[in-house]
Amino acid sequence: MKICFIAPGEIEIPPNGWGALETVVWSQFNALKKMGEEVYFVNEKDTQSTYEKVSEINPDVVHLHYGKHWEIMPLIKCKKIVTSHDGSFLNSLPFHEELVRRFYFDCDFFVLTSWERDFLLRVGISPKNIKILPNGVDFESFTVSKNPKKINKSICLGKIDKRKNQAFLQKLDCGIDFVGQNNCVDFEPLDQSFLGTWDREQVFSQMTEYANLVLASNSELQPLVCLEALSCGLGLVISESASQNLDKNLPFITIIEDKKIKEKEYVKEKILENRDFCSTMNRLDVVNYAESFSWGNIAKKYVDYL
């Protein structure tokens, strides 16, 4: 089976630093190749060039990631068309007015969570055309420290912007280090808690030095960084919005209700409680849980859906 992924062309694949979508494409690409599938990806900014390259490949399956270049999809001749998007994209006008209308009968939707599935059902997509395919993680790439150097601290890793509430977390003064590109005017980049940006190798090797990851995002569904933190042996303190597909009963995962995400003392208390527990837990229990999200497992499910 010949599979071709279409990416937006905004960031290189594989990405050197940030680029969650590009990381997903690269990881799916490699996991499927390892299974023996014939896999390609086209990562071009120009839509016409994208169409020409896909046509040259002549795949059996075309998988459009995120939505850019959607207008060429009705022109592509193949056995199956798949599209996937993150939850924040589902409310955009192109999705409502064009994507659903054109793909209503001809496309399978691979979604991260039940929230997206329910959204698509509400706009008229048939249940048989909707498949839940969670994000995965390359857990073997991450270092797991037996004696973390920053076990009394938490890390908040990811692009710093308003929807992730890092400026709020920074004011809690409870031992959180922040790593990521700063796009938020309310965040204080000169504070000693801000460590700048890391490349992928730094994420692989340095995140494990912390007790837990803190993520207070109000619009993500299944962030890759949560799976990456688990692969390092870290606990999670995450917003309800970002907790899809995780086992919320596990003792190293703490969920902050969305309605309480800006309650300073409550959030601070939960971070410290989780950190205290994670400083004494067996990290391999966390890594074993992360392994259930391995890209190999996700790839097997991917092929079953086709």
Q: What is the pLDDT of residues 184-201, one digit of tens each?
A: 999 999 999 999 999 889
Q: Is the pLDDT of residue 68 over 90?
A: no
Looking at domain 139-291, which CATH architecture does it have? 3-Layer(aba) Sandwich (3.40)
Q: Is the pLDDT of residue 98 over 70?
A: no
Mean pLDDT value across residues 160-183: 95
Q: Is the pLDDT of residue 104 over 60?
A: no
Q: Considering only residues 289 and 75, tell me which one the structure prediction assigns the higher pLDDT.
A: 289
Q: Which distant-in-sequence residues (6+ apart) come within 8 Å of 19 by Cβ?
A: 11, 12, 13
CATH number, domain 2-133, options 3.40.630.30, 2.40.160.10, 3.40.50.2000, 3.90.1150.10: 3.40.50.2000
State the pLDDT confidence band at 44, using cuts at 50, 70 and 90: very high
Predicted pLDDT at 124: 79
CA dist., res. 230 & res. 289, Å (int)? 8
Question: What is the rounded (10 degree) CA torsion for 288, 289, 293, 296?
Answer: 20
Spans of all domains in the chain? 2-133, 139-291
Predicted pLDDT at 91: 52
β-bridge mates for residue 62, sequence order: 4, 81
Q: What angle do CA 35, 232, 30 make, to 5 degrees?
A: 20
Q: 139-291: same fold as 2-133? A: yes
Predicted pLDDT at 11: 87
Q: What angle do CA 137, 169, 249 make, to 5 degrees?
A: 50
Q: Is the pLDDT of residue 80 over 60?
A: yes
User: Is the entire prediction scored with pTM above 0.75?
Assistant: yes
Q: Is the pLDDT of residue 249 over 60?
A: yes
Predicted pLDDT at 123: 76
CA dist., res. 300 & res. 159, Å (int)? 31
State the pLDDT confidence band at 179, using cuts at 50, 70 and 90: very high
**The pair of three-digit structure tokens given for residue 47, joined into one six-digit string:** 């839509």
SS (H, E, C) 167-185: HHHHCCCCCEEEECCECCC
> Is the CB of residue 23 less than 8 Å from the CB of residue 86?
no
Predicted pLDDT at 126: 86
Q: What is the pLDDT of residues 11-24, one digit of tens each?
A: 888 877 667 788 88
Three-class SS of residue 161?
coil
State the pLDDT confidence band at 214, using cuts at 50, 70 and 90: very high
pLDDT more than 70, % of the chain: 92
State the pLDDT confidence band at 287, using cuts at 50, 70 and 90: very high
Predicted pLDDT at 103: 55
Q: What is the pLDDT of residues 119-132, one digit of tens each?
A: 888 877 889 999 99
Peptide bond into 223 cis (omega under 30): no
CA dist., res. 221 & res. 86, Å (int)? 8
State the pLDDT confidence band at 222, using cuts at 50, 70 and 90: confident
Q: Is the pLDDT of residue 251 over 90?
A: yes
Predicted pLDDT at 17: 64
State the pLDDT confidence band at 34, using cuts at 50, 70 and 90: very high
Predicted pLDDT at 100: 57
Question: What is the rounded (10 degree) CA torsion for 92, 94, 98, 100?
Answer: -30
Question: For the chain, what is the mean pLDDT?
Answer: 90
Predicted pLDDT at 86: 61
